[in-house]
Amino acid sequence: MAIREKLESVFAGVVQRNPGEKEFHQAVREVLDSVAPALARHPEYADAKIIERICEPERQIIFRVPWADDRGEVHVNRGFRVEFNSALGPYKGGLRFHPSVYLGIIKFLGFEQIFKNALTGMPIGGGKGGSDFDPKGRSDREVMRFCQSFMTELYRHIGEHTDVPAGDIGVGGREIGFLFGQYKRITNRYESGVLTGKGLAYGGAQVRTEATGYGAVFFAEEMLRTAGESMDGKRVVVSGSGNVAIYAIEKVHQLGGTVVACSDSSGYVLDEKGIDLEVLKDLKEVRRGRISEYVQARPHATFVAGGNVWEVPCEVAIPSATQNEISAESAAALVAGGCAVVVEGANMPTTPEGVRVFEQAGVRFAPGKAANAGGVATSALEMQQNASRDSWTFEHSEQKLRTIMQDIHARCYATAEEYGMPGNYVAGANIDGFRRVADAMLAQGLI
């Protein structure tokens, strides 16, 4: 059977075995579309059924999370942890608390995490978890009770040598603190390396908060450098206004670019003078408000309710909100607005149709598994510090992050050229990540 036919057969099997999980199907499709050249060069991968094995999680855990709100009303949510692949190290990946979470979302994120983590060059496998719990509008005590109930089940499946969760959408420093406290209480162990994204006061790492946003911009900087350009003077649009977006904006401004728009689920703000980071941080990190409130502090700015932030002309776009936010229409709007570089700060924020629009227009496009790997890379650095009972300075940690992102860019770029697809960062990222995991799986036998 020809390689392409074989891959189509594998994909059909994935869809049949995982019905209704469209995000997972999309993530698998993207990888399978890229790795055919690697399979042609390495027939041992096909012989050992590496593709079939890598598409099937090693373990899928689903559990009930009961908790009571401040009025005493009982709620029941569903918790997930998908431990996808441990060929390179303990499972590593965040926890997402959001109403949209279901098994298909967690599996898509976990599958992406396998290759993202491989690209970092760090000894970490791929996994993901979360719940359909919505922390928005909940008091600190309600969030604490939920996190304690969630960890009461999760604790038996994780550990610094087994599975190391971190944060994601809806899970920040507050939630990680509550989760870590409950883990410590149940196990009677101060196992710092069991969770990353911790506060600096109890084993956290410098730059972890900033890492995903900073890392995406470092990757963009390398893309620009290969074309003889820099971030200096560039007009940039960033979607979202959470952790990734905030620190992407911060690093763009430090490198001389100007972010003129950002968004949340209610719409977007346009600030031609450049997004005011202090206002945005206060609004989102302290008051947990809506982006519409930004114009109260910056009256010259414009809020567009329900608007599409990708209609704002820019040279560089950094989607940092959620999956599939850039459709073919949005991609066409970016191209029409002069966008030349797209760097995914979020996980799979561009639909396959959107990616094709960018490819046809010659837009340089970096997939999330490469461009937003800075977060998990810095989590691995946090694990290193925890293991050695050490603590690094902000400057030292940031330089390590920059070096890791430069290395990821170099490998993606070189792999794309090696396989006859120069400038194709999607192919470069997928093939390089896949080869690293496949070689480890071969070495470890049929497990």
Annotated binding-site ranges for substrate: 92, 113, 116, 167, 379
Q: Kindly name the residue from 6, 49, 107, 128 that is annotated as catalytic.
A: 128
Q: Is residue 295 within 8 Å of 319, Cβ to Cβ?
A: no
Annotated binding site for NAD(+): 212, 243
Annotated binding site: 92, 113, 116, 167, 212, 243, 379
Residue with tokens 């956290």: 204
128 is catalytic: yes
Alpha carbons 380 and 193: distance in angstroms, whole number: 9
Amino acid at 221: E
Q: Which residues are paired to 316 by β-bridges?
A: 236, 341
Active site residues: 128
